[in-house]
Amino acid sequence: MSEAQALFAVLRQSADADCVAALERLVRDAPDYRLSRINVLDFARREALDEERAITAFLHAARIGLFEMSWNVLCPGCGGVLGATASLKSVRSGDYHCALCAAGYEPTLDEMVEVSFTVSSRVRRIAGHNPNELPIWEYLRQIFWGSGVDLPEDALEATIQELTLDAVELPAGDKAILSLQLPAEFIIVFEPVTHAAQFIDVKGVPTRERQSLTLVYNNVRAPTGTMEMRPGPLRLTLENRTGARVLPAVWVANDAMHRFIGKRRPFVTAKRLLSNQTFRDIYRTDTLDVDQRLKITSLTFLFTDLKGSTELYERVGDLAAFDLVREHFRTLHEIVASEGGAVVKTIGDAVMATFPTPDRALAAALRMRDAMRTLNASHGSEDLLLKIGIHEGPCLAVTLNERQDYFGQTVNIASRVQGLALTQSILATNAVVGHPDSATLLAAAGQKPMAKHHALRGIASEMAIYEIP
């Protein structure tokens, strides 16, 4: 049995069988480029798999060494990778600069940090394991652009050649001279290895006189500059003073180029992974450094608590109450995970969970309430009375008490909304019930939220809180 076969045998013990079979086919049959920075959501779509099960399979596969996980900071403009690390701990909270877009961005975990997977070299050697040997256009596909940029499968080189005037592979210490005919367009000389760019605004009366430009690549990242030139001949000198190969190309930045890099597809975001129960279980204490503060622009928080748990212990005794509460926790964990969320922590009889979107939290809340009713009916009592509060908004991903956690007013509001809930109540803010997918979910369930205004401690003005009857 090969090492890959042995690892897949281990994977079958913890991941969905259909997902494991699809992963085996991928590793065995796929071309190299499809095994570099794999987009899990695209893989699930191709194989008709459940997204959450596919994510879980890749996480377990990375844990045992079948794949390597990468956290990639993306430019929201062009979709290029501005930084790639093996751990979220290495993602900076300061600005990342994109030379191709001439813009700087502070990373957020919603859409600017993707998580992708590359097959381990122990399992199968692929060209992407040696980026410095990739052909120029494959370097762009596999290394520069993120997995959310929907590039052509088969005609990548032909497509890019229509968008460029020329390109060259320039070894360390080498120099190249390109003779070009500049059209009356906006031109970008972009080099993806050093992430350097020069903008050329070509306009005015065409000239027959040869124009000259020299660009030197070194290890100092300079800001993108813009210069004007006239349509006509250009002698472009490119000099590589770095210690590695560079891959400059001359792009025509027209509508065709913008359509090319503007075609996108969904990908696994850092936010989604942090709200995945399997990820939290596997990487419980190895997510963020204690001093890291990473922004999330939208995350949904769900808090639960049992009403009258103290009286429950006194009424039925410690042993019976403990068994009931433990069964309640197990049920809530299962529901949260099945709705694509994760339990952040439990506090006494309370649960704090996160979800990528409000509708998933609302769906979980409705299922939790039904599950508690079923448990009560099976025990012939009304001992498990669950109070639920939900809110959505921005927050910070942090490490507290050696555990990945969240901080901010959104967390405080969600907790205080739960504190307003009465027996078996589900309370949510407008940010939750007003979400389009939440409205669809509630309408399908025949639920009509009823709003009341409440004052919440620490909030200046009253908030509309909706009860889901």
Residue 93, SS3 per DSSP: coil
Q: Which residue has the tokens 């099976």?
A: 378
* pLDDT one-digit tens code per residue, 191-218: 999 999 999 999 999 999 999 999 999 9
Partners of 429 in the beta sheet? 465
* pLDDT one-digit tens code per residue, 442-469: 999 888 999 988 888 877 788 999 999 8
Question: Which whole number is the average pLDDT over 140-166?
Answer: 95
Task: Give the orientation angle of helix 51-64 with respect to helix 17-29, to 10 degrees.
Answer: 60
Per DSSP (E only), the strands in 401-445 are 403-407, 426-429
Amino acid at residue number 457: R
CA angle 163/168/169 to nearest 5° reads: 130
Q: How far apart are CA 269 and CA 299, in angstroms?
A: 12
pLDDT at position 254: 95
The residue ranking higher by pLDDT, 380 or 107, is: 107
Q: How far apart are CA 230 and CA 207, in angstroms?
A: 6
Q: Is the pLDDT of residue 348 over 90?
A: no
Assigned token pair, 274: 């942090």
* pLDDT one-digit tens code per residue, 116-126: 999 999 999 99
**pTM exceeding 0.75:** yes
Are 396 and 336 in contact by the 8 Å Cβ rule? The answer is no
Question: Which whole number is the average pLDDT over 91-116?
Answer: 92
Task: Collect all residues with Cβ–Cβ distance below 8 Å to 374 and sequence separation of at least 6.
Answer: none
Question: Which whole number is the average pLDDT over 143-153?
Answer: 95
Per DSSP (E only), the strands in 356-449 are 386-400, 403-407, 426-429
Q: Which residue has the tokens 């909270």?
A: 93
